[in-house]
Structure 1
């Protein structure tokens, strides 16, 4: 490529990426000016309104002056919104906070925003956040500021903004830690500094700081309760003793899950879950129950056996049939007027199944006046009612104030009978959730209705996605709402063989880490008598608690608790194989990031580690084999992941009906990547054979990269390029070769392009590493070969 043509190409690429960037002064950095004196300056131009109508120790005028002195706010950022609100950190620690929002407007559109919060009593900076619209900003990679350097920047910022806290902090090594190397340079390091009490970290108090890869502070937030008193107790249990006790107390739960992005055929995975456990470090007793109220279920199902057959599909109900089925199931008054009826079909991309339903509404009348409404939805294929809701205007409702209110047990009985009648084939698999007494009281007095939740459990295994809820009016006993979310999946009547409970617990304890910390316990009293926290909050919210009748006391407790180790994906434990699986795809994964042992000191070490971290290259026996020739399947996987910010493409069930290539079926590890590459026109179907294990030469890789950049149409005009390759006669795709060399994605060897030479894993990794950098600098051009 001669200088003239290369300059033309570079100019073209630069032109499509040109964009305005936010001034650096809009970001906070380590060179923040010290806090102002009490007599901070006058309100700058651009304030929302003169005057201070709110009575606060720090006025609105002073709050804005403080904000501008704490962080650098460019002149073209104008104050748009001011808000004074109460911030609660602990129920007994309420702070008055000024929140000020500054925006940058360009042609009437927001191009950036800065939000600053100031303590209205002390003038302290409590939070700061900067946002900027830079859709085409070129990232800096390798990072100018890595996580360690960002930590230094954050500490400097804290020392200047909150000097009283800087010696009470311990850096949280796990928080915000990305287990994968960043795929591009637009990285924000999320850092947390926990409050240190003696030599123990109180994890619920902390300071968060976000620092970008340029070293700019983008976010700062204090979460701190100065009113807490810590008792300097020591644990009576060692870490090892606490771990043993937790292991004995742990009770894993069986459940079925069908990952949303699972490849066809989609089959539920039987898994074990284990909720975190908190142990009193002094008494050795449970400090917090591992199972919340929402996890408590009655031990017996609605019935011992199915009460009817599963409805068959294919009913194709008419509007009149659908309306009558709803009337047969629910008490719709004779004078109710049908006001709306619409038919709807919906194709679920996750399953590929198309469902149909009738949605019908009625108006309730009181003479000539409208008194309320009823809405219901019924499956047109099966006749199963999916939802029902009834609303009656309060002023026209039957006067039931003097009538005896029904009990929760009466409401539950009514809900159970309704569900048994509507879902008889599932009666032996449906279990009612057990609410607490306080929850029942809140539903009765606060919401004026009881909520009965029912879940599906098959032979001890929960199906979390299958649930029913019935809301019963606490005065009239009428059904207010009824919702059904039950899949058509037939689960095994008997749970298949699973690993032992001990094996499940052992596996989950590898997922968690055990930490010693403090937690806060708050007690409530009314007129000197202790009351449960839920009841106190309910009385407070309803206005029933007034004056000084209530008393709140917060105390700290030393505990051992399980917290998840840092993971870059959500996982579940396969109860049959003891393997960890992704909750998104169902694919087998590991708790530890894969690491190749044969790349240390390799010229492409960084690039290979990047591909291994994103599982673009497989590691076998700790080796990635960098000098092995890359396959077509591996190369496509690397490219698609690079184009998709490291995330596998979402392949819905409806997209999996037929594979584009006979030799890449839906069961192939490369299937979703190859299908995505076809959809993006990165590869052509040709004769219908992909050859995923075939080798790749340099010319083939160059064409793939140019297609991914969107320049394949440009590359076809190879007369535009005056290349100087010594082996030009051997190059068939001259335009593609010229572009990848001109952009420094691929290089020459002694002036030769070597189009037929096969590409190693290391060379492919290096090429895609450079592709990531160059692609970020080039805006997608309208030259795509679609």
Structure 2
């Protein structure tokens, strides 16, 4: 629905751009173009000198808007949206070309940026801003979204009505982390909503009872990939979990469960299986593909095409041409591969295609789709087949193509809406083991409602060892864990009733109980709240260390803790202890992850340090011969590892060009490490004390934290 509206707005915007200015001058709005420009320049203090200007006008969805744009080939662009009836600024974006490199750690804190955001909103939209409250971004699977992702801090302020949050009306604003410039601002607001009285709401305990009775949690096997950065061949594993399957809001007035066809925030994980998409699979080169064809364990291309055609429920007509053939590594089984084929034809007025994939080892048909444009035109037609008839067609085919496995599967009924306009109906079957679902072993099949033809099929089967189902926590205990980590909160949402899905703008606001911030799974063996890799999700550890208060490196340690780079033991960091090589390598690898995004590689205290060493060795930070996990790290060794992680090994190894006359203990530096010490000193990563570098002194954990913060501040 939102996408449809976006497309419509874009089309209207383009049409508006084509309207002559003389026509625009005749707009029936309270705010004309001259006033809109004056409002924008006054409230935003726009630096428009040297910019070219253009404008557009748009009416739709009950709104009238001026779109103002200033552009400069050297200074970037500014866009401002002004409500043509109220004069409110509803949108603003400022783009300035910036080719400079930024460090991972920004120049300004989130608190600094928030002050700028608040000042901006108090000036631009003061009355509406008074009605809002900031919506905090929650820590997701160990990654703090306030720090990572982009060069801007993002803030979201939602309207508060009757003391209850309503995210349907909200303000978003982004502030640059390194310049404190407001990069964008958008107001999404409708004054015509009617809000139910919270005094009429059912109790929270009653809502929890309804939530449980709706079978919101389900016990199932889940496939996870213990995928650690640097591990190129993660193996899938099965774990038993409780996962959310019916995370639907509860009408707080009537107590009924609402279908999810509403517009508004729905927070929570689906608990579905973890998969690897075809996009992440590596297509073999022609030479590699020929070599694979010669290996007897893989079916040849021609044989795979023949097997696909034999198993398809339709004939590929002679008018279709084979347009693509690819052999992919099977992401679920690295010892196997999948042939993928595509056929198509066009008669000038329509484009039709068929795709099919076959397991290159077993010959099983894995997927197929058929798109016939003539069959998709169902406007004004009535479906010929009922749901039960279509299901019968699907099951007759599955009994033929996968007789043994289909017997072990259970149909997963999904209620269909009478307002569904799709020409197809899909059916899902899931493998059952020990009476428990394995959603990663499943079949999806689609049947045309008007012709009865099977038009899509997706078969997934992973041969995994399933854990036993003994000693599991109860469903009640799982709900206890759920509500311990999440909260069923009262909130207002915009709701689309099934018969009003296409109505715009929506006017129906519901007061609901909705689960807040559940992103993960519940381990059915331990009761732990785990992520989609099966690792326990830890609570915010920003204040966990009890032994760093007053330490000279306290701020650096807390900053690294906030980024998920450092950890301790039993609530202690032990800043004055000497750091071990394995811990320094782990911290350095976490600090040097790609895209300037700090993501903890693991939340398990008993993790295997080999994962970090593998990354460090692959990135030429350390060699296999230098690996000595439980040894202490000298200061000159730390300089070596740090400089290598910057990709400067080839420069540092040219020893003859470096002079260490600025150090009083230069003669104590290993001759092979002179370049590393010089570069670390020159980049202000390591300085020493009173002219002494102390190259052979062991590095403390406090010193390591200080060095890594300086490392992160380097503009790479």
State the TM-score, normalized to the length of structure 2.
0.79
Match of 2:445 in 1: 470
- Structure 1 partner of 2:359: 379
Change (3 A) 1:277 1:75: same
The answer to whether the Cα contact below 8 Å between 1:175 and 1:191 also exists between their aligned partners in 2 is no
Deviation at 1:343, TM superposition (A): 4.3
**Greater mean deviation of Cα atoms: 722-731 or 626-635:** 722-731
Other-structure match for 1:661 = none
* Correspondences of 1:404-419 after superposition (within 5 Å): 405-419=384-398
Alignment of 1:635-784 (within 5 A): 635-644=584-593, 645=596, 647=598, 669-686=608-625, 690-715=627-652, 716-732=654-670, 733-773=673-713, 775-776=714-715, 779=716
Alpha-carbon contact 1:343-1:356 (below 8 Å) kept:
no
Quote the offset at 1:141 in angstroms: 5.9
Matched, 1:153 2:116: yes
Q: How does 1:535-554 map to 2 (within 5 A)?
A: 535-537=499-501, 554=507
Render the CA deviation track for 1:473-510: whole Å, top value 9, x for unaligned.
2222122x223140322353964542111221111112
Name which of 548, 564, 586 aligns with 2:517. 564
Q: Which has the larger radius of gyration?
A: 1
Query: Do the aligned partners of residues 648 and 434 (structure 1) sit closer, same or farther apart at CA in structure 2, a change above 3 Å counting?
Result: same
Give me the CA root mean square deviation. Answer: 4.2
Which of 253, 264, 268 aligns to 2:218? It is 253
Q: Which residue of 2 aligns with 1:501?
A: 475
Q: Aligned ranges for residues 86-485 of structure 1 at < 5 Å?
A: 86=60, 94-105=62-73, 112-138=76-102, 143-144=107-108, 146-174=109-137, 180=144, 188-213=152-177, 214-234=179-199, 251-255=216-220, 256-259=222-225, 261=227, 264-274=234-244, 276=247, 278-282=249-253, 285-288=255-258, 316-333=298-315, 336=318, 339-340=321-322, 343-347=325-329, 352-357=334-339, 359=341, 361=343, 374-392=354-372, 394=374, 405-439=384-418, 442=420, 446-479=421-454, 481-485=455-459
Deviation at 1:767, TM superposition (A): 0.6
Q: How many residue pairs align between the two structures? A: 651
Residue of structure 2 aligned with 1:593, choices 531, 541, 548: 541
CA displacement, residues 393-419 of structure 1 (integer Å, 9 cap, x when unaligned):
53999x999998122221111112222
Question: Within 2, Cα distance between the matches of 1:180 and 1:328?
Answer: 51
Does the 8 Å CA contact 1:209/1:217 hold for their aligned counterparts? yes
Name the residue aligned to 2:530.
581
Deviation of 1:378 after TM superposition, in Å, equals 2.2
C-alpha distance in 2 between matches for 1:492 and 1:507: 24
1:489: which partner in 2?
A: 463
Contact 2:143 2:564 in 1 (8 A): no
Compared CA separation, residues 710 and 182, structure 1 to 2 (3 A): farther
Cα deviation for residue 699 of structure 1 reads: 0.6
Output the CA distance in 2 between the equivalents of 1:389 and 1:698. Answer: 61
Q: Give 3-state SS (helix, strand or coil) of 1:447's partner.
A: coil
1:770 CA displacement: 0.9
- TM-superposed deviation, 1:607: 1.4
Q: Unaligned regions of 5+ residues in structure 2, if any?
A: 1-16, 263-268, 273-294
Taking a change above 3 Å as real, the CA distance of residues 190 and 423 of structure 1, as seen in their structure-2 partners, is: same
Q: What secondary structure does 1:588 align onto?
A: coil
- Kept in 2, the 8 Å contact 1:233–1:558? The answer is yes
Contact 1:170/1:196 (8 A) holds in 2: yes
* 8 Å CA contact retained: 1:315, 1:382: no
